[in-house]
């Protein structure tokens, strides 16, 4: 089963994709996390991505698509994956359709996580991320047990450099102009399911799991 999690910056794609991937035994592919890991490791990919991410712009398609297609060819993606933050424009959506079709597969469902703009800004301004395993926390709604440390791996928590007010505004602008057209693209394909992304994290996970349906690992 190949599922896309679509939504604005801060909608909870990463939080929900991690939960649902665990519940359903699917691989979680988060393009933002892959870029941030590449930056931590100071690879060429990380260096190329940094300047775009700092400005709240999309990393060019040729870089992003190549990275995802490579990731998709790994054995842990053979029986399914959740895409978090990809695709982000029509070009990427078409490239994903093509890459999956080459393996005799297709996108099964697209979960559109809907959250108000006011809530998005609140979430992003209080977010902390684990430098090691990328788990997101929020200083009010989901604080770590020990301040500054990840509950899961003990890694150091930090605030993303693109979570400043100005960069968040730019990311939202890019989302509305480039990513929102995908709602129509997948809706026409009969694959889009809208899920209310406000409320308790576990409740939202429950809504998504029932929207996906099927059995674990499928």
Residue closer to ligand AP5 (CB basis): 11 or 195: 11
| Strand pairing class (109-114; 27-30) | unpaired
- Does 50 qualify as catalytic in the annotation? no
- Does 145 qualify as catalytic in the annotation? no
d(CA 203, CA 205) in angstroms, rounded, equals 5
- Does 160 qualify as catalytic in the annotation? yes
Residue closer to ligand AP5 (CB basis): 15 or 27: 15
Binding footprint of ligand AP5 on the chain (CB under 6 A): 7, 9-15, 31-32, 35, 52-53, 56-59, 64, 85-86, 88, 92, 123-124, 127, 136-138, 141-142, 162, 171, 201, 204
Catalytic residue selected from 23, 55, 71, 160? 160
Catalytic residue selected from 24, 36, 105, 127? 127
Q: How far is the CB of 71 from ligand AP5 (least distance, A)?
A: 12
Q: How far is the CB of 23 from ligand AP5 (least distance, A)?
A: 16
Q: How far is the CB of 132 from ligand AP5 (least distance, A)?
A: 16
Residue closer to ligand AP5 (CB basis): 182 or 212: 182
Catalytic residue selected from 36, 88, 105, 123? 88
- Does 13 qualify as catalytic in the annotation? yes
- Does 207 qualify as catalytic in the annotation? no
Q: Which residue is nearest to ligand AP5 (CB)?
A: 32
Catalytically active residues are 13, 88, 127, 160, 171
């Amino acid at each position: 089963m190949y599922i896309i999690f679509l939504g604005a910056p801060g909608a909870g794609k990463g939080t929900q994709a991690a939960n649902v991937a665990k519940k359903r035994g699917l691989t979680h592919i988060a393009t933002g996390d892959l870029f941030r890991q590449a930056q931590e490791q100071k690879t060429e990919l990380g260096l190329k991505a940094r300047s775009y991410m700092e400005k709240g712009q999309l990393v060019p398609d040729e870089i992003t698509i190549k990275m995802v297609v490579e990731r998709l060819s790994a054995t842990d993606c053979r029986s399914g994956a959740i895409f978090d933050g990809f695709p982000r424009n029509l070009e990427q959506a078409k490239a994903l359709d093509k890459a999956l079709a080459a393996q005799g597969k297709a996108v099964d469902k697209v979960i559109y996580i809907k959250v108000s703009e006011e809530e998005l800004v609140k979430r992003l301004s209080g977010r902390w991320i684990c430098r090691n395993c990328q788990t997101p926390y929020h200083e009010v709604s989901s604080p770590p047990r020990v301040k500054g440390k990840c509950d899961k791996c003990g890694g150091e928590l930090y605030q993303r450099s693109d979570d400043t007010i100005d960069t968040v505004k730019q990311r939202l602008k890019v989302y509305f102009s480039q990513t929102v057209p995908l709602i129509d693209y997948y809706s026409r394909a009969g694959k889009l399911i809208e899920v209310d992304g406000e409320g308790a994290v576990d409740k939202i996970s429950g809504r998504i799991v029932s929207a996906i349906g099927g059995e674990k690992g499928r």
